[in-house]
Chain A
């Protein structure tokens, strides 16, 4: 569904110095797959997402979605940002319908769908409220509905829960898993939370910084639905989490610090 082929991205920073944000990124995401990109701040994971979204063009290499090279934002791609970015003067329902208006479609044809989406995220009776009347978690739920209103085949999420408190964050992650299982959209999810990645992703791309590269892609073969609470797969979750932590925190030049093959046989 998504192909990132040999993509590099170099920005011209202040004083004209070139900053290499991404180097030779290769990533394939299958239809319906959930891929998380984890890494420290500054590893270029948001840049990678913006490249896939068509918001910026790669310095070299190519991004394609469903076989079509991406040169500009596509309608079949929904986006969610770190902040909900709800327009404060629009009601919740009108915010959800914003993409419909921008695409020049008829609101009437999509109002029912908007109500269904709000119902799905537990905001059934909040359509007429203004964003400031909602809590942060509720606002981010509305942003998710807005990203889904055009029935996108691909959903790109840039640290969508990172501005929320820990409990709301966990709650929304579990909810996103349910929605992904229900809608089967292809999702690329950028986060710096290992727990979130292990809960949500089929595969996790671990990224390193300066320049941003994919260090390793780790498969998370834990049956769904997964949960943060007591469950039958606590060992797998713990091992997978530990492995991701090792990959994220260790230095790449010291391979002995990564316990490949000892606990982790995937």
Chain B
């Protein structure tokens, strides 16, 4: 029989262009937004106290660069620790709960309900229960990022296509083989959906925990600069937070792309 042709990839030039555009266009629109903002502060004569212009923010950052970077590091460390713990714990819980249909049916609605409770409201209580320091802040990060991971993990682990289950049965695959070779790999794209939600929430959790006047982290910097009416400093801290948040999100996306070259094609 004749050999069959595979799908043809787009030519190299087109791919390079689309890659450049994928990074270049968002950067360009960011620059445009910053330029408009700057122009607005000048045209409408907005006072720095009310809304600082971009150069004021840069100046504010440059007066305390080491301090701000240290505080950013504090926040990042809490976020990563809490997110890591939430990922490991969330996956374990998802695996355990999805092991049996009965357990899953009994717990899934509860999880969704608990997931919808605003965990941020617990921040003052955590301070009361766990005291000052890093621990209550990491706990807050875990609390806020744990449930999206559990819910996504369970959704992924329980949505194995019937044909794969049938295939596994026809090969007499053991429960362990079924999990390792079929269910878990199938769940990974959905787990990443949860991880992407969770990583952004994790940073929010860290910042809100720092709002409790714990003296450390970018959250504290924002609260402190508010009380001293140092708006440019608040904006510098917020910009740093934004940068950290974007970096964390794209870190997860990068890991996802690396691990799952197939997922983009099959799950969209």
Binding site for B on A (CB under 8 A): 53, 55, 72-73, 75, 77, 79, 81, 83, 85, 87-89, 98-99, 101-103, 122-126, 129-135, 137-138, 175
Say how far B241's CB is from chain A's closest CB, in angstroms. 35
A175 vs B261: C-alpha distance in the bound complex, in angstroms? Answer: 31
Answer whether A99 and B171 are a contact pair too, CB < 8 Å, given A55-B166, A81-B163: yes
Binding site for A on B (CB under 8 A): 1-4, 6-7, 161, 163-164, 166-173, 177, 181-182, 185, 188, 260-263, 265-266
Residue of A nearest to B261 (CB): A130
9 A–B contacts from the bound complex (CB under 8 Å) = A55-B166, A55-B170, A81-B167, A85-B161, A87-B182, A88-B262, A99-B171, A102-B177, A138-B4
Give the residue among A122, A125, A132 with the most B Cβ atoms within 10 A: A132
Residues A98 and B169 in contact, CB atoms below 8 Å apart: no
Chain B neighbourhood of A89, CB < 8 A? 185, 188, 260, 262-263
A83 vs B265: C-alpha distance in the bound complex, in angstroms? Answer: 17
Residues A87 and B185 in contact, CB atoms below 8 Å apart: yes
Chain B neighbourhood of A133, CB < 8 A? 6-7
Chain A neighbourhood of B181, CB < 8 A? 87, 98, 101-102
A101 vs B266: C-alpha distance in the bound complex, in angstroms? Answer: 24
Chain B neighbourhood of A81, CB < 8 A? 163, 166-167
Answer whether A122 and B166 are a contact pair too, CB < 8 Å, given A87-B182, A102-B172: no
Which residue of B1, B170, B265 is within 8 Å of A79 (Cβ)? B170
Chain A neighbourhood of B265, CB < 8 A? 88, 130, 132
A18 vs B1: C-alpha distance in the bound complex, in angstroms? Answer: 48
A139 vs B164: C-alpha distance in the bound complex, in angstroms? Answer: 15
Say how far B159's CB is from chain A's closest CB, in angstroms. 14
Residues B6 and A129 in contact, CB atoms below 8 Å apart: yes
A83 vs B263: C-alpha distance in the bound complex, in angstroms? Answer: 19
A266 vs B76: C-alpha distance in the bound complex, in angstroms? Answer: 81
Say how far B177's CB is from chain A's closest CB, in angstroms. 6
Residues A85 and B163 in contact, CB atoms below 8 Å apart: yes
Residues A122 and B163 in contact, CB atoms below 8 Å apart: no
Say how far B183's CB is from chain A's closest CB, in angstroms. 11
A123 vs B170: C-alpha distance in the bound complex, in angstroms? Answer: 25
Residues B2 and A85 in contact, CB atoms below 8 Å apart: no
A126 vs B6: C-alpha distance in the bound complex, in angstroms? Answer: 8
A261 vs B6: C-alpha distance in the bound complex, in angstroms? Answer: 50
Residues B3 and A122 in contact, CB atoms below 8 Å apart: yes
Say how far A28's CB is from chain B's closest CB, in angstroms. 22
Answer whether A175 and B164 are a contact pair too, CB < 8 Å, given A87-B182, A130-B262, A132-B266: no
7 tightest A-B contacts by CB?
A132-B265, A85-B163, A79-B170, A88-B262, A102-B171, A88-B266, A122-B1
Chain A neighbourhood of B161, CB < 8 A? 85
A73 vs B173: C-alpha distance in the bound complex, in angstroms? Answer: 10
A137 vs B6: C-alpha distance in the bound complex, in angstroms? Answer: 12
Residues B4 and A55 in contact, CB atoms below 8 Å apart: no
Say how far A154's CB is from chain B's closest CB, in angstroms. 12
Residues B169 and A124 in contact, CB atoms below 8 Å apart: no
Residue of A nearest to B7 (CB): A133
Chain B neighbourhood of A135, CB < 8 A? 4, 7
Chain A neighbourhood of B260, CB < 8 A? 89
Say how far A239's CB is from chain B's closest CB, in angstroms. 29
Which residue of A77, A131, A134, A175 is within 8 Å of B1 (Cβ)? A175
A75 vs B172: C-alpha distance in the bound complex, in angstroms? Answer: 8
Residues B167 and A85 in contact, CB atoms below 8 Å apart: yes
Say how far B160's CB is from chain A's closest CB, in angstroms. 11
Say how far A54's CB is from chain B's closest CB, in angstroms. 8
Chain A neighbourhood of B6, CB < 8 A? 126, 129, 133-134
Residue of B nearest to A82 (CB): B163
Chain A neighbourhood of B188, CB < 8 A? 89
A157 vs B78: C-alpha distance in the bound complex, in angstroms? Answer: 55
Residues A53 and B170 in contact, CB atoms below 8 Å apart: yes
Which residue of A99, A124, A134, A137 is within 8 Å of B3 (Cβ)? A124
Which residue of B2, B7, B182, B266 is within 8 Å of A122 (Cβ)? B2
Which residue of A73, A103, A125, A137 is within 8 Å of B170 (Cβ)? A73
Residue of A nearest to B177 (CB): A102
Chain A neighbourhood of B172, CB < 8 A? 72-73, 75, 102
